[in-house]
Structure 1
């Protein structure tokens, strides 16, 4: 009995001894899935564990994480007793390399400034001392004229040297202060990216025998995001539209992502995945606020319907895709892009451009103009079956005929069968809308006033090929019986009587000017005023 007790005491002593020492193991970041807001980071680490209980620290993880999302797997012979997330603010090696470099340069610059200021101060003091001793000898000293001239030349030369030297130090001091100011600004910018602070995971584990174990760690961090953007390139209206699908990835997790397998997902992992249910809505008499809380509690119930974190492997790609870097995976709820090559994304809060796909898309080009609002013609690229491109709302750079023409916005959340992408203004299509004075005017008819408006729209195609143009204008629509509107002439336009929108589908030949006219009248009581006519 005594022997068993001593053996147990010995084992407990070993366990407690191991538990007192904490060993740091830095993890290796293997893969990252970046969501529109947040990211899932996956690490691996190999640790050497003694028999019994141990406390180990897993380092090199994000500085901010959702602790409820931590998933840690270990071999079957290792039992994880507890996990605790902490930040490591104390260690100087947590400063980024860029921060340390600028910090060192700032220290040297301040030291150089101090040396300049010291030298300037010495010369200034010497000049003061020289000025105070100019009267040495005086009139009664018995100095000869030659000796006085020699002394005057010495003072003149010495004062000139000192003043020139002081001025030179002042110039150096100003330049050095400007250098220090720039370094300080750069240091302040680097200090805001949080790359100097990393996280740690404290683990308490137990194993029956000494072993080498591989841990797999994953968690969600809010300190990353991505937004889509595009390059729209077209050589001319006879060639397909090249859509370069890109993403700007930003991360400030404190961990530089070096050569990691990267995926971009449209999912929202932090969003509540439980779907609401409606219960009966009972009405009863009472004050407005009497049953508000009760009805709110009774109206919505929930059922478990957690959306999966990972996308399925059901793959859809465009028929005419130039594959560049990424593979699109779709399921019912979201889309993910798996990048085919490893990426480096530094933790500096700056956007890193990533190319997802390049599509050579057949499109139908047409021009569009609303001269009442804009005097220019806009080139539109009409895309059918655009769902397979997995586009997201985002800004787009437009390059047409090898020239950057501006920015546009892609909104794929349309309810139409085709998607119209604005390719910018084309100054070679000239559109002018002018009022025809001789066919416009005002007449008094008894108690009524009748105003007539006539506009002429001139269009000229300055391009070398014919173009199709969709032209739109409008006439007013009455909402009052006392206001009578008559469309006198629409010059062959398609008319929407509910909205007053007029549409012309025109084919403009090269170098030819086309004209269309619109004329309408508005009759209303002469003692009334229509402000927006």
Structure 2
């Protein structure tokens, strides 16, 4: 009787335990919208629900989720009572594909090592057996010379063969052991990477009747991003400029995106959407900030803005250029706040934080090509392309590869956030245009006039067009600008330049025919007290 009661209560306990354990359903990732920082993931799941209240777990979710963004659609006869999110560290399928690949390779190499060890042991046993059986003939039987030579040759050859085999097998074993060591270290590194860990959403539901339901789940995850980059192609200055608009997509959601419908948005879901409010502006006395510091920050910002551009004189900022639209299977949708690129081809993107290139669009537009040079800073000529109405292209700041005349010439940077109506794109250096700027020694010197000294500087700039077609070149130089009443600056010879007296910039718009050379000479003087020095005068 006691045994029957024990079995009954054991069965009853198991029944209630299984009834109270939440059922696990895997979800299928259908589509992803990637933002500049973050992504919206959309899943589908088929679940079976009993009548009444139940708890289920939806697996195969991203490893990081903004819980406030979780949205789940259910049939009308089902009510969601609560939702929560947790990471799933226990399930074996959470091993990343990279981890599984290395783990499988490690098992294979270990098997190969075992085979080598078995072969070596057999060879070593044969060698021991051979060494123990070296007696020739009986105690009462002599051995003739021919038989002795024959046996000796056999032992010699066999021992040599066995020892060589053992040596080779030990070498192969060492190689396999090195492979095993490398793979084990790689597995250790991969085990520290939790990008392979997935998440799960726990739901408490109430169904009026038992039902099979299709759930649509969406949420935001911070574990993905994309940045723009470009290819700029120009056959020459008479052909339209081609722009290939691309995206580098990275993700570490723990889910490998396989055959998903991918969209890229220029929006930022994490950005605060609340409109700003003005409050009272109260003035108060205080020490002014150092003018030197302000100038230093301004200079640093200007240097940063010039990092990817052609050289500029101090008062100006370099830009870049282009335009028009065609392109692969991408649909662009616009609203008042952002633009979205819908990629029609399903994409596979692994959860490994590595960039995956996606082509968004191709543009083709007649651009105004011209060359630009500041020989005082850099002796090369830079090809610039100009386009207008670029705000309609929804370009984002990004690095650009430059291909000119079918050759890769370097990198540039597209900055569509400029306030001008023309976008200037630096297309790289053109070595076929030679520019030399030299000081004319015989027209450069110092004169002393009373208590003052006057320094005169003369420079000659020679420009040669080595190309087969005519070019337009914007050439710039400068003369110094006085910041002190004791300094007198005079532009003696502008060389026919357009002069900006406030900044001291000299500009020439040159049109050079093939093989043509243009020579320009400028001269200026600076007069100041002879007991003083100007450090940056040249």
With the shorter chain as reference, the TM-score category is: 0.7 to 0.9
**Native 8 Å contact 1:36 1:226 kept in 2:** yes
- Structure 2: unaligned runs, 5 residues or longer: 1-12, 286-321
- Quick check: 1:447 aligned with 2:447? no
SS of residue matched to 2:458: strand
Check 1:482–1:22 CA distance in 2 against 1; reply closer, same or farther (3 A cut): same
Range that drifts further, 417-426 or 90-99: 90-99
Alignment match, 1:224: 224
- Quick check: 1:437 aligned with 2:441? yes
**Native 8 Å contact 1:396 1:409 kept in 2:** yes
Check 1:475–1:188 CA distance in 2 against 1; reply closer, same or farther (3 A cut): farther
Question: How far, CA to CA, are the matches of 1:485 and 1:118 in structure 2?
Answer: 92
- Quick check: 1:354 aligned with 2:358? yes
- Quick check: 1:344 aligned with 2:348? yes
Check 1:484–1:173 CA distance in 2 against 1; reply closer, same or farther (3 A cut): farther
Trace 1:498-509 onto structure 2 (pairs within 5 A): 498-509=502-513
> Which of the residues 494, 498, 501 maps onto 1:494?
498
Question: How far, CA to CA, are the matches of 2:375 and 2:135 in structure 1?
Answer: 91
Question: How far, CA to CA, are the matches of 1:143 and 1:93 in structure 2?
Answer: 74
Alignment match, 2:298: none
SS of residue matched to 2:173: helix
**Native 8 Å contact 2:443 2:458 kept in 1:** yes
Question: How far, CA to CA, are the matches of 1:272 and 1:223 in structure 2?
Answer: 19
**Native 8 Å contact 1:34 1:264 kept in 2:** yes
**Native 8 Å contact 2:44 2:216 kept in 1:** yes
User: How many residues in Structure 1 have an aligned counterpart in Structure 2?
Assistant: 485
SS of residue matched to 1:340: strand
SS of residue matched to 1:322: coil
Alignment match, 1:458: 462
Cα deviation digits, residues 13-65 of structure 1 (max 9, x gap): 9x978851422221122221101111011112121211112221111111111
Alignment match, 1:364: 368
Alignment match, 1:529: 533
**Native 8 Å contact 2:250 2:353 kept in 1:** yes
> Which of the residues 403, 415, 420 maps onto 2:419?
415
Check 1:184–1:236 CA distance in 2 against 1; reply closer, same or farther (3 A cut): farther
Question: How far, CA to CA, are the matches of 2:181 and 2:370 in structure 1?
Answer: 54
Trace 1:33-52 onto structure 2 (pairs within 5 A): 33-52=33-52
SS of residue matched to 1:321: coil
SS of residue matched to 1:36: coil
- Structure 1: unaligned runs, 5 residues or longer: 1-12, 286-317
Question: How far, CA to CA, are the matches of 1:264 and 1:332 in structure 2?
Answer: 16
SS of residue matched to 1:67: strand
Instruction: Give the C-alpha shift of residue 122 in structure 1.
Output: 7.5
**Native 8 Å contact 1:458 1:515 kept in 2:** yes
Q: Where do 4+ consecutive residues of structure 1 move more than 6 Å?
A: 15-18, 121-131, 133-137, 142-155
**Native 8 Å contact 2:323 2:364 kept in 1:** no
Question: How far, CA to CA, are the matches of 2:216 and 2:226 in structure 1?
Answer: 25
Alignment match, 2:488: 484
**Native 8 Å contact 1:190 1:348 kept in 2:** no
Alignment match, 1:240: 240
Instruction: Give the C-alpha shift of residue 160 in structure 1.
Output: 3.8
Alignment match, 1:68: 68
**Native 8 Å contact 1:33 1:40 kept in 2:** yes
SS of residue matched to 1:375: strand
Question: How far, CA to CA, are the matches of 1:438 and 1:284 in structure 2?
Answer: 59
Please report the RMSD computed on the Cα atoms of aligned residues, expressed in angstroms: 3.3
Alignment match, 1:428: 432
Question: How far, CA to CA, are the matches of 2:490 and 2:133 in structure 1?
Answer: 103
Question: How far, CA to CA, are the matches of 1:420 and 1:164 in structure 2?
Answer: 71
Check 1:530–1:181 CA distance in 2 against 1; reply closer, same or farther (3 A cut): farther
